[in-house]
Amino acid sequence: MILYFCNYKYNDLIKMNIKESLKKTGLTLFWQLVLAVIAGGILVWCSLQLLNFYTDHGKFIVVPNLTKKTLSQVQILLDEQQLRYEVIDSTEYDPTYAPFAVISQSPEPNERVKKNRKIYLTLNPSGYHKVTVPKVIQVTRRSAEATLQSVGLAIGTVTYVDDIGKDMVLEMQYQGKPVLPGDKLVKTSRIDLICGNGMEARDSIPEEIPIEELMGN
């Protein structure tokens, strides 16, 4: 009986110790979890602050419209916005823009960019570039006009003179002066054409000789 009682008390004591151990272990795990969550939150907050410091996260600049503006105007606008610019190769001359005005930009106007972003600009040249006059002498007028226009030259007046080659180009002129194939002219220059009308030149027609002279009388 005494032995049974002792065993019973011993078992109760063991159960109590186990409960106490589990209780302490549970509390320890709980606090460890709380500390881990707090530490994780602090780490995330510090990372976000560091990211904001280096990248100005969430702060953007709206790109202004620089089209048709001069470089001096561009410089003032971009300095105010804390942006930079770089000029890339100019394209073909566009008469609707002033010389050296901005034709296009990248990024486009109203796009959002970071501070100190570089804006790439394409400027209008000062004027048309020169082109080489093609060889169109002794070709038909229609073919000559198509060839001249294909290189950017314009057709001026067309004058016909007595020549057996009908509609054949005999000469080119620019501002009243002869132009030769291979000459350089500014693009859009107007070329005047001298063409044959299909009639034999009068000075090449032999003078009519009286029949009497031919017979030796």
**Residues 59-73: what's their mean pLDDT?**
91
* Position with higher pLDDT, 180 vs 88: 180
Predicted pLDDT of residue 5: 44
**Residues 114-122: what's their mean pLDDT?**
92
Among 19-33, 73-87, 197-211, the range with the most confident prediction by mean pLDDT is: 73-87
Classify domain 61-123 at the CATH topology level.
Answer: Trypsin Inhibitor V; Chain A (3.30.10)
Predicted pLDDT of residue 205: 47
Tens digit of each residue's pLDDT (9 = 90 or more) over 169-194: 999 999 999 999 999 999 999 999 99
Tens digit of each residue's pLDDT (9 = 90 or more) over 8-56: 455 555 555 555 655 556 667 666 676 777 877 787 776 666 665 555 5
CB 154 within 8 A of CB 188: yes
pLDDT(215) > 90: no
* Position with higher pLDDT, 70 vs 201: 70
Q: Sorting pLDDT into bands at 50, 70 and 90, what band is 141?
A: very high
| CA gap 175, 190 in Å, rounded | 8
pLDDT(70) > 60: yes
pLDDT(198) > 50: yes
Q: Does domain 130-203 have CATH number 3.10.20.740?
A: no
**Residues 113-121: what's their mean pLDDT?**
92
Predicted pLDDT of residue 44: 72
How much is the pTM? 0.52
| CA gap 79, 70 in Å, rounded | 14
How far CA 43 is from CA of 16, 30, 37, 38, 94, in Å, comes to: 40, 20, 10, 9, 57
Q: In CATH terms, are 61-123 and 130-203 the same topology?
A: yes
Query: Which sequence spans correspond to the domains of the chain?
Result: 1-58, 61-123, 130-203
Predicted pLDDT of residue 90: 75
Q: Please name which of 97, 161, 88, 156 lies closest in space to residue 128, comparing C-alpha atoms.
A: 97
**Residues 112-124: what's their mean pLDDT?**
92
| CA gap 200, 216 in Å, rounded | 30
**Residues 57-62: what's their mean pLDDT?**
78
pLDDT(195) > 90: yes
Q: Sorting pLDDT into bands at 50, 70 and 90, what band is 65?
A: very high
